């Protein structure tokens, strides 16, 4: 279990789960027309991916600028997600 975490494989698994979540939600929306539109998922998924990349970088001992860059990506995704939630009108 130590190797699973110290090698960063846990972060790779989380990234795969995030990608799977995005695909499943997009397919549900495409087939049923309900749920979250794929363009409204991007910010949330980018925020999660950025945090997971920061975790990966920290676990494998990357230099701090790579960790900071991943956190900036997460912040940008979070900001986009908030913009979509507040500014883009929802379908009724």
Q: What is the pTM of this model?
A: 0.87
* pLDDT tens digits for range 57-77: 999 999 999 999 999 999 999
* pLDDT tens digits for range 12-47: 999 999 999 999 999 999 999 988 889 899 999 999
CB distance 77 to 43 below 8 Å:
yes
């Amino acid at each position: 279990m130590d190797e699973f975490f110290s090698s960063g494989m846990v972060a790779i698994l989380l990234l795969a789960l995030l990608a799977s979540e995005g695909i499943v939600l997009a397919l549900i929306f495409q087939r049923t027309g309900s749920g979250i539109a794929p363009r409204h998922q991007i910010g949330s998924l980018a925020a999660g991916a950025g945090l997971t990349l920061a975790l990966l970088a920290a676990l494998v001992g990357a230099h701090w600028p790579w960790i900071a860059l991943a956190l900036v990506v997460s912040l940008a995704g979070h900001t986009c997600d908030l913009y979509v939630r507040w500014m883009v009108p929802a379908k009724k």
